[in-house]
Amino acid sequence: MQLLITGCAGFIGARTTQLALDAGHLVVGLDNLNDYYDVRLKHHRLEPLLKSPGFQFVELDIEDGTGLDRIFTAHRFDAVINLAARAGVRASITDPHVYMRTNTVASLNLLERMVKHGISKFVIASTSSLYAGQPLPFTEDANVTRPISPYAATKLAAEALSYVWHHLHGIDVSVVRYFTVYGPAGRPDMAPFRFSEWIRRGQPITLYGDGTATRDFTYIDDIARGTLVALKPLGYEIINLGGGNTPMSIKGMIQSLEQHLGKAAIIDFQPAIAADMQDTAAEISKAKALLNWQPSTPPADGFRLTAEWHAREFEMLDWIKLR
């Protein structure tokens, strides 16, 4: 297949692109290389991709409709995987407008051009943050119409727009809701990356809350693999991609990283933030039934691989500013 993958220099985007190339697909990757976090990390992820003859990189913001027109005119895509997003609950409270532009309006830009150019398959990344206040484990049919952060609200809006374009124009849509993705070359605003670096550097961890909150951590390779198998025709489906109702506490994550990094954490406890969820747990029976997907990397292995990457890439990581 010839795929358009947006956000290809991002954490999930880069790994999904690599697995797509490994599977023999041709990929045009878009990324605006914005400075939400250190661009050196994005170039680090891009470096191996650029060595593949099946990959073409274009620096472009998907908010740029004219630029998208050029891309869609120059290529005949079989499917679009939209992984470009502004992520992060706390940052969305500070600047909700950029989240609306990137997560919602830019998704609409892609859908409009898919109709114009006859592209029928759309995979779009969404978030477990939509499930705030719902009973555990989270199921795809839960009522998620009351998000508690601008980030979640913009993702919900993108899901709704995708359904409208499915209904009106027959676009085949897979919405994949991710659960706390972690692994090598992660995002510096996410706890697994920040905590790994703070422990490695011997600096205090800023921990909001008492550490008893739990997350259904999902290793990056499992997420990328699930995103690609979601390319199959489904009509319109929302599918959880998560650890499979095996949550770990934040304290447990810290202890695992301490073990694998060989250093003790220094913890600076801060009050919990209202927009943060207390617990997450994914019900993944739908992913198993529709995609034959389930995670294969348990946290014990995933956090070891994460810690090993941080220890190995210390020369680059010493310069990365933590958010």
Kindly list the catalytic residues: 151
Helix or strand holding residue 82 (H, E): strand 79-82
103: number of CA atoms within 13 Å, CB side?
26
Please, what is the angle between helix 11-22 and helix 220-229, to 10°?
60
- Let me know how long the chain is: 323
HEC profile of 213-231: CEECCEEHHHHHHHHHHCC
What type of residue is 307?
A: A
The contacts of residue 299 (CB under 8 Å, 6+ apart) are 217, 219, 243, 246, 248, 253, 256
The contacts of residue 34 (CB under 8 Å, 6+ apart) are 61
A 10 A CB-CB count for 139 gives: 16
Find tokens 């693999």 and name the residue: 225
Give the C-alpha separation, 72 to 79, whole Å.
11
Q: 147-151 long-range contacts, Cβ below 8 Å, gap at least 24?
A: 148/274, 148/275, 148/277, 149/89, 149/92, 149/93, 149/275, 150/92, 150/93, 150/96, 150/99, 150/100, 151/86, 151/87, 151/88, 151/89, 151/91, 151/92, 151/99, 151/103, 151/127
47's tokens: 């470096």
Give the C-alpha separation, 176 to 228, whole Å.
10
Find tokens 């400075």 and name the residue: 35
- How distant is the alpha carbon of residue 102 from its chain centre? 14
